[in-house]
Amino acid sequence: MDVLLSSAYLAPVQYYTKLLQCAGGTAYIEACDSYTKQTYRNRCMIVDANGPLALTIPTEKSEEGHCLMRDIRISEHGNWRHRHWNALEAAYRHTPFFLYYEDDFRPFYEQKIESLYDFNLGLTRLICDLIGIDVTLTPTTEYTMLGETNMEDLRESIHPKQAWQTDTSFTPKEYYQVFKEKHGFIPNMSIADLLFNMGPESILTLHESNSRR
């Protein structure tokens, strides 16, 4: 079944199990909802030597108040691209696969992409390609009200303030994490954590984390 998802920055593992569920189909990525802060739209969670770390992309303030996701522009405040890349490199440079994927990710932190939606979508397409998730990612062209689509609507179900344990179709499979001995296994971190630690085996972890398999 096709799914409807919110845009997300280096989304958590849970998000990618949903993309894997509709492999061979289409995942519609919402572009026409009102932009909301403190969500995965502009924030991801990685694991560094000190534990979970949030990386947040700054956005330009809209003079109109409410703004559609597709219209949100990335702010250049605080040299965030440099800080995010340094944080990713510090957290994952000793993982088995960071050097292998480094050249794929680095351009996103060197090029000036103004649209947050385009930035997220480009990263999501790259990650699906690297992992081997055969899904078509399609931007929405209008907002669909809740309950008005036959697609599985997951736009509000994956959220930093909503515990992943409420998702009965997601059971995170434990995998190798470079700081596991220090912090223990930390589930449902950014897909970057899974990919840099597990490489080509990431898709197996996603399959094993999908309770619908």
The number of domains in the chain is 1
Rounded Cα distance between 202 and 44, Å, is 18
List the beta strands (DSSP E) in 86-191: 136-139, 152-153
* 148 or 30, greater pLDDT: 30
- pLDDT, mean over the chain: 94
Contact 98, 196 (CB under 8 A): yes
Q: At what angle do helices 13-21 and 191-198 cross, to 10 degrees?
A: 80
Q: For 20-56, how does the pLDDT look when each residue is reduced to its tens digit (9 = 90+)?
A: 999 999 999 999 999 988 899 999 999 999 999 999 9
Q: What percent of the chain has pLDDT over 70?
A: 97
pLDDT of residue 6: 97
Please check the confidence at residue 62 and state whether its pLDDT lies above 80. Answer: no
Burial classification of residue 53, based on how many CB atoms lie within 10 Å of its CB (0-12 exposed, 13-18 middle, 19 or more buried) = middle
Strands (E), 150-210: 152-153
Q: Which residues contact 170 (CB under 8 A, 6 or more apart)?
A: 14, 17, 164, 188, 209, 210, 211
DSSP code per residue over 36-91 = -SSSTTSEEEEEETTEEEEEE--BPPPTTSS-BGGG-BB--GGGHHHHHHHHHHHH
pLDDT confidence bin for 63, thresholds 50/70/90:
low
Q: Domain span at residue 134?
A: 3-209
CA distances from 152 to 2, 119, 142, 147, 149 (A): 7, 24, 17, 9, 8
User: Which of the four pLDDT bands, split at 50, 70 and 90, describes residue 120?
Assistant: very high
Distance (Å) of CA 39 to CA 15, 19, 34, 45, 145: 13, 18, 12, 11, 19
